[in-house]
Structure 1
């Protein structure tokens, strides 16, 4: 939601380290921070899913066909969550084409509401270029703030809306429909879409198991650190919710244990209930262990049931979904969702019944599987600490053998000799590891994300991990280190009483990596904050960060972000610059480096070996720097951009390096897409128009954390 004052935009931003959100003020015209038309800066909208959604040609076509079938005469159409106004313009155009003689005294009208102010400003530009700006009632607020007789002259006859997320309900579909039916729509209105149906499938997957069962992963590691010891299996777990994921990328690692089954149906044409539940008996089609439930939804856009849109994975073979999926291209705005089973999952045999209970509230859908062996399993012991809810990626990292071994080895000597260590990375693993390595070390752990919960958690695990809880202090941020307040409310001082011997910086940016520049910005802040209290022989882990890159073919991702012209006959070219579209000829600006799970980006291919862009030495002050590299292509193909990531050097002798490159699946990489795809070739003499190498220039400004990457392709001749 956004609200507007005289010259300001209030934008909700999320702190990528803590997960906390806050309203920040973005000035409009006259301060150099907005576009010429009063639009927000380009990077404000370039990381959103609007561009990807508008490039979804199957979605656009399906909505256009359904609207044309539904809007048969001039009437009052309401568009909730209008975005760029695409559906509103489709409805207006459908009314224009109606036989005017049929309703000579009737005049159609479209009421469009959009609460996100930056998008409202962009919508006005789209309406203007399409000659529709005077033919709409545009309301820059939520639909539940509209009133008939005040804002709307009459109730609307038709509702067109697309306020759906990957789970279906997360953008407020149910409360929006409830209010619309109660206050804004006629009785028995026509709607596009007409209905949404959710489907599920039981699956087995070791990869998905590692993302929620830390106890099982930890049992295979021999470092003596127990984040989830026996008897405390529930002390660390993922939040019970659905997680959006491109499951097609896991198709070779998933074993299907059931046929797809229908769970809930939501009719847009009638008022939905706030809560619903169902119990289903699912027949297993294979022997295995249910590690997760994969879910998706299918839209029926017209009342006759001839126009559909589906978010089903490609392996689905049902007649309707299969025919749709074959036409749809990869898109990132809607994915499948994953619900993790508890613990190590539920064992099933072929033809065995599995009982599933599904419940939905106004914003989400949850599931519970009944385990036939539940009564025979030992009960968990009680513990007097706090449970920690971590992201699936963080749990997978904590259970990764290589990751744990690397840090255990790197900190072996430092932990034994240091008298004071600061762990500045929101890491429970590093805190326990240091405390275990030395019983005499004093540890200050900075936990801006999980905060006070970690104190009770680490107290509970002190006995299991053989350390003394009095050896460490937990604070919520770097600034608290120099104060005297503790998160548990006691008066124990957190002030530094000696020079720091060991500083562990934040290098776990897997689930919270919003922008590549943030990595350097935060590491710089944490590193420089303690400069005055570092001992001469301080150990800093990681000691260096290496920015690496690789040229890649990313056709699906590039297509989803390419520039727009006509969408179903409606001009959208004015949105390209604001949304950061590739191949936008209206601007010469360098494209932003955006965060993606590269392994989930559809078709991908590496076209070069990884190369070093620049290095950062965390043992020294980080200053402005420049890196220049020549990259030679190792394969023939189409280059769509460069993928960037960090290799963390844990030891100064380079003997321990942790990479977060494209093949590492528990953190996002930064992707800089080219304005236009480029044909490349590894051969000395290639075809005309192909390129054999490229020069990469990178610049880093520590004052704002900006990393600017430029490229120049060299001829194959």
Structure 2
């Protein structure tokens, strides 16, 4: 059955009606659900298998029949592990219907369909009894309900219901226990993701609005690959604290709780950020541990397991505060049924403060700007590039129009002396935020912000003036892939009738760049999963594998490559150029060519990014931040996601081998899509 869905096109800005089938949705959901990553996580699989075998053995030693409840079964892997370990029967619960159907196929293929019952329900809807989903309560509870924050996928309510309704008292649980750890740090880098910092523009200081500086920020966790944040980027103010543990073999509560850990400050500084992660113990003795700790906590960092389905958490304190070396502090974590938040207090206070409520943005900035966007706005070098470019094109009589979302460019233009500055904003909230910034810096009225689409802008909106400088970062909140920022080109074309004949366009052009790469770990998210090393089961059937491969060979996907190390195996090169000084062409733009693979390694695919030529002399990159290293080392901007195109099969390039990455790109101005194709061939 076909359905039509209306979607805003991030490149053209138009509403597109997309035809989709049920099968398409099935493929997309499974392909984006991290199953390949989890199934390639050997450390996770091994620890779960060890814990399951131990739990089955303990139940059997008591002379009991082993009945397993597996909540969130996914592919059915953990249920099959339990049967392999000697369980008598498994109830495998999976709420996502396509995945439940796939699990049924996988279980059947492995010969367990008579001992595993797939239940396509949320676990809180499962019933027990002669006419229920389960004939009897289970005495082993196996779950994989965790996310980076541990409880963000509703683990606590699910456990609470399971203990009340689905498992026996004193049941075995795998995992048996989870423990959350946290460390208070000062970090200019991480804090720049939470608060707008003062900026220097043309010798003047631009300060954030007071409401922004005093705002507690957004409550959502910031999950990152903390292994890629260098320990030199932060200063620990205290030791790693054990915040709380949850024993999954006993009744669990999803009610609000708070936990406090006291410590003595190891150094003075600004308490700004809490780094946090957790581990799970698979058995009561704690001898089988699966840890989420970042690699720099390991004696040998290279031995740390890599995983993308579970990462580490960064929490921003509601306000930064000064602490002194030797000061007695208490770090408090609060949680409801789905999220955690932190606060810090000096123990010298006479009164013990009540646990704070969940932080909530009151300034609108944390609703308008994402964490990477905060980092981008706080990037001094990037600001200097825009200020330098603007200074070179602005005149005393300049009439400027800015087209970007939540941008500071119109503020910069006003501070640099433009006669009149307009800005187009996509939302009222964004418009109000920039107005707050202007008022806080005594520039109210210096910039006129218009909440109107480019194609709807009229000469009357501009006071019958023509635009002499059209500018953009370009940044748009709807962009996912790097080339979605070509929406600026569509805006420039729509505004052509309002431009002076020799108007300056900034950026004047953009180029799409690519480099062939070998990924350290990211390749695992789309790698085939036909077998599971170390276990006598096949966790992936052909149908699910096709889902994981569904769009891999035809489309790129966005990833923040600073979190995912890779090596360049070819030179980087501009493969398409877009001239913003001209209107959009009527016909598609195509580009073909090849890049030699100049370094030995396994080529997993290509990385793609945009670079913007603000002027002939100033360029801003949304990808590589410098030259590729001698061994192919790549440094990526933390502010934007890059495009990643993974080859269906990696190419092994030997030191003396001669091969090239062929590419073909076609930009269709009607759809805004860039179709691409790549192949590696020996020369």
TM-score range with shorter-chain normalisation?
Answer: 0.7 to 0.9
**Which of the residues 163, 181, 184 maps onto 2:163?**
181
Report the equivalent of 1:381.
none
- Measured against aligned partners, the alpha-carbon deviations of 1:650-669 in whole angstroms (never above 9, x if no partner) come to 22x35344443242122221
Query: Which residue of structure 2 aligns with residue 88 of structure 1?
Result: 79
Is residue 637 of structure 2 the alignment partner of residue 664 of structure 1? yes
Work out whether residues 95 and 121 of structure 2, in 8 Å CA contact, stay in contact via their aligned partners in 1: yes
Give the aligned partner of residue 105 of structure 1: none
Residues 452 and 646 of structure 1, relative CA distance in 2, 3 Å threshold: same
Three-state SS of the structure 1 residue aligned to 2:274 is strand
2:22 maps to what in 1?
28
Task: Map Cα deviations across residues 125-150 of structure 1 (whole Å, 9 max, x no partner).
Answer: 32343234454433333222333344
Deviating above 6 A after TM superposition, structure 1's stretches of 4 or more consecutive aligned residues are 8-17, 372-375, 493-496
Aligned pair in 2 of structure 1 residues 139, 528: CA closer, same or farther (>3 Å)?
farther
Q: Which residue of 2 aligns with 1:358?
A: 333
SS at match of 2:83: helix
More deviation in 669-678 or 297-306? 669-678
Is the 8 Å Cα contact of residues 200 and 206 (structure 2) preserved in structure 1? no
Counterpart position of 1:580 = 548
Aligned to 2:509: 544
Describe the shift of the 1:505–1:576 C-alpha distance in structure 2 as closer, same or farther (beyond 3 A): farther
Structure 1, residues 150-175: CA drift from partner, whole Å, max 9, x if none? 43333333221111111111111111
Give distance in 2, aligned partners of 1:40 and 1:442. 48
Q: Distance in 2 between matches of 1:10 and 1:188?
A: 51
User: In the alignment, is residue 40 of structure 1 matched against residue 20 of structure 2?
Assistant: no
Tell me, what secondary structure is at the counterpart of 1:329? coil
Residue in structure 1 matching 2:562, options 596, 599, 602: 599
Determine the structure 2 residue equivalent to 1:259.
239
**1:593-634: CA deviation from partner (whole Å, max 9, x where unpaired):** 2222212214x3233332011112233215422222332345
Q: CA deviation at 1:239?
A: 1.9
Change (3 A) 1:513 1:433: same
The verdict on how the C-alpha distance between 1:359 and 1:546 changes in structure 2, with shifts beyond 3 A counting, is same
2:105, 2:541 within 8 Å by CA — same for their partners in 1?
no
Q: Is the CA contact (8 Å cut-off) linking 1:591 and 1:673 kept in structure 2?
A: no
Q: How far is the alpha carbon of 1:294 from its aligned partner?
A: 1.1
Q: State how 1:14-25 maps to structure 2 within 5 Å.
A: none
Following the alignment from structure 2 to structure 1, what is the Cα–Cα distance between the partners of residues 266 and 307? 30
Give the paired residue count.
639
**Structure 2 CA distance for partners of 1:444 and 1:257, relative to 1, 3 Å:** closer
Query: Does 1:706 pair with 2:668?
Result: no
TM-score (norm 2): 0.82
Structure 1 residue matching 2:511: 3-state secondary structure:
strand
Question: 1:501 Cα shift?
Answer: 4.7
- Tell me what 1:67 maps to: 52
* Superimposed CA distance per residue, residues 236-286 of structure 1 (whole angstroms, 9 cap, x where no aligned partner): 774244311112212342443333220011121223232111222122334
The 5 Å alignment of 1:675-686 reads 675-680=648-653
Q: Residues 662-696 of structure 1: CA distance to partner in whole angstroms, max 9, x if unpaired?
A: 42122221122233333446xxxx53xx2354332
Between the aligned partners of 1:224 and 1:543, the Cα distance in structure 2 is 26
Are the counterparts in 2 of residues 513 and 667 from structure 1 also a CA contact under 8 Å?
no
CA contact (8 A) 2:591 2:664 kept: yes
Distance 2:478 2:73 in 1: 29
Distance apart, 1:196 and its partner CA: 0.6
Q: Note the C-alpha offset of 1:535.
A: 4.9
What residue number does 1:616 align with? Answer: 578
Query: In 1, are the aligned partners of 2:202 and 2:415 still within 8 Å (CA)?
Result: no
Q: State the Cα distance separating 1:414 from its structure 2 match.
A: 5.0
- 1-side partners of 2:348 and 2:504: how far apart? 50
User: In structure 1, how many angstroms separate the alpha carbons of the residues matched to 2:662 and 2:415?
Assistant: 47
Structure 1 residue matching 2:385: 3-state secondary structure:
helix
- CA separation of 1:480 and 1:388: change in aligned 2, threshold 3 A: farther
CA apart distance, 1:398: 1.0
The SS at the match of 1:262 is strand
- Give, in whole Å, the separation in 2 of the partners of 1:9 and 1:191: 43
User: What corresponds to 1:445 in structure 2?
Assistant: 424
Q: Unpaired runs of 5+ in structure 2? A: 12-16, 351-361, 625-634
TM-score by length of 1: 0.79
Structure 2 partner of 1:153:
135
User: What is the CA–CA distance in structure 2 between the aligned matches of 1:496 and 1:575, rounded to whole Å?
Assistant: 60
